[in-house]
């Protein structure tokens, strides 16, 4: 979640490649996609959407 929240596109891409669950939720209920949208990281949003992330 930190990589998405901070907008680290390369790190998010690597995590997705390695099979990270892009739909996982934090204890507060946030998904990676929600964090990326909240922080305005469009490249991360696009990457997660391509990996079929849901909100």
pLDDT tens digits for range 2-20: 999 999 999 999 999 999 9
Q: Is residue 45 over pLDDT 90?
A: yes
Beta bridge partners of residue 25, listed in sequence order: 31
pLDDT at 55 over 90: no
CA 41/CA 55 separation, integer angstroms: 15
Largest CA distance in the chain: 25
The torsion angles phi and psi of 54, rounded to 5 degrees, stand at -115, 160
Domain ranges of the chain: 2-50
CATH number of 2-50: 1.25.40.20
Band of the pLDDT at 24, cuts 50, 70, 90? very high
- Residue 53: pLDDT band (50, 70, 90) is low
Between helices 9-17 and 42-50, what is the axis angle to 10°?
A: 10
Q: What is the pLDDT of residue 52?
A: 79
């Amino acid at each position: 979640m930190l990589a998405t929240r901070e907008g680290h596109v390369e790190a998010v891409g690597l995590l997705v490649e390695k099979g990270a669950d892009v739909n996982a939720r934090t204890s507060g209920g946030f998904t990676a996609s929600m964090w990326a949208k909240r922080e305005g990281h469009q490249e991360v949003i696009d990457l997660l959407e391509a990996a079929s992330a849901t909100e």
